[in-house]
Amino acid sequence: MNGQYPSTLLEKAVNEFAKLPGIGRKTAMRLVLHLLRQDTAAVEAFGNAIVTLKHEVKYCKVCHNISDTETCRICSNPQRDSSVICVVENIRDVMAVEATQQFRGLYHVLGGVISPMDGIGPGDLEIESLVQRVAAGGVKEVVFALSTTMEGDTTNFYIYRKLEKLGVKLSVIARGISVGDELEYADEVTLGRSIVNRTPFTGAV
């Protein structure tokens, strides 16, 4: 056992928390000690919530967003505009756009962006399912809302080439988002304006 830990169990717990993104060992220690100070019922509720999430969470069969059911609440909402699809990288981006309350269409979560350096190609993303959604009809506009990075622009261009002959309007959110920024970190006002003031996507990268 590492000498700085009075308990192997404590050390193991800290090691697990430290594996989470953005959590260093000092923060992990504070979190573990906080849990130790809570009553057993509270800690069990915390643990059960994580285990239940892992075992029971689903991904929407339409847009691939996280859901409690086969079709998420956004896709199954008749008040949403099903003729407009906003293409995002991940689930956090759906939450970011929804927080603006400016977009009333549907989403398509790719699950990442094309990044050869990271070994991520088009086949690793939900691109073909997007093409199938558009080809099935009823979609009038596809809005690209990927991060303004080289990988995001490359992914935009790849999808554009896949969709350009399907007769739908292809748009990109206005560049109120600084080049190189991740979408999830944009403030709600800027992101909202970018969604509303989208422009035609010409395929230029």
Mean predicted confidence (pLDDT) in 1-13: 81
Burial 49-85 (b: 16+ CB within 10 A, else e): eeeeeeeeeebbebbbbebeeeebebbeeeebeeebb
For the cut 90, the answer to whether the pLDDT of residue 193 exceeds it is no
Domains contained in the chain, CATH given: 6-55 (1.10.8.420), 61-170 (3.40.1360.10)
Q: Are strands 58-59 and 66-67 parallel, antiparallel or unpaired?
A: antiparallel
**pLDDT tops 80 at residue 203:** no
pLDDT band at 196 (very low <50, low <70, confident <90, very high): low
Q: Answer whether residue 191 shows pLDDT above 60.
A: no
What does the pLDDT look like over 63-114, one tens digit per residue?
999 999 999 999 999 999 999 999 999 999 999 999 988 899 999 999 999 9
With residue 81 as reference, give the H or E element that holds it.
strand 81-88
163 has pLDDT over 60: yes
d(CA 81, CA 63) in angstroms, rounded, equals: 14
Give per-residue pLDDT as tens, 43-56: 999 999 999 999 99
- Rounded to two decimals, the pTM is 0.78
Tell me: pLDDT of 180 over 50. no
Q: How confident is the model at residue 5 (pLDDT cuts 50, 70, 90)?
A: confident
